[in-house]
Amino acid sequence: MSLDSHIEKVLWTKFQISKRVTELASQITSDFSSVSPPPLVVGVATGSFLFLADLVRQIQLPISIDFIRAESYGSGTESSGAPRISLDLKLEVKEKHVILIEDIVDTGNTLSCLIKHLESKGASAVSVCTLLDKPARRKVHFELLGDGKYYKGFECPDYFIVGYGMDFAELYRNLPYVGVLKPEHYN
């Protein structure tokens, strides 16, 4: 079985993704070069793991890295709208600037929940770096904390997408590109 045959069309190739990740890392390096203490980079598991790995290897700063898991999809294609934190941070965020790394910002529910959670733990600022931004699906307006910044790789049309860490029912994360999953594979 070829996973590629499950994809209706490729939206961003591995080469387009790589180029954009390099640009984002360069911008983050520039923006945070004089921030002390250095920022804490927090990957939102599990979808951000490939993006995070590629991004942090190109950030030229002494950063710390941690993960948090917020679940809102289960095995469906629609967010439940009520994310819950199922794996919390190991590192201390008090008085630190946290850069949340997301695979996709969709409804805004998960991101809003995570920003509030980090604020409750004493983070001084929260920035967000997402590979994909899907504003057509936004339901919740989230506010960054402190002098947080918003970085986005690509604006995503309203398709159900997989690849480069993003899944449907825990499958397709290993695709090296981002593509539209054929409906017969999720209906």
Among 54, 103, 106, 167, the active-site one is 106
Task: Give me the sign of the Cα torsion angle 106, 112, 118, 121.
Answer: negative
Which tokens in the block code for residue 66?
A: 């941690």
pLDDT digits (tens, 9 = 90+) for 98-118: 999 999 999 999 999 999 999
User: Under a CB-based contact definition with an 8 Å cutoff, are residues 92 and 66 in contact?
Assistant: no
pLDDT digits (tens, 9 = 90+) for 35-59: 888 999 999 988 999 999 999 999 9
Helices (H) and strands (E) in the chain, counts: 3, 9
pLDDT digits (tens, 9 = 90+) for 127-161: 999 999 999 999 998 999 999 999 999 999 999 99
Please tell me the predicted confidence (pLDDT) of residue 39. 95
pLDDT digits (tens, 9 = 90+) for 47-92: 999 999 999 999 999 999 999 998 765 555 555 567 888 878 999 9
The question of whether 133 is a catalytic residue gets the answer no
pLDDT digits (tens, 9 = 90+) for 156-177: 999 999 999 999 999 999 999 9
Helix, strand or coil, per DSSP, at residue 96: coil
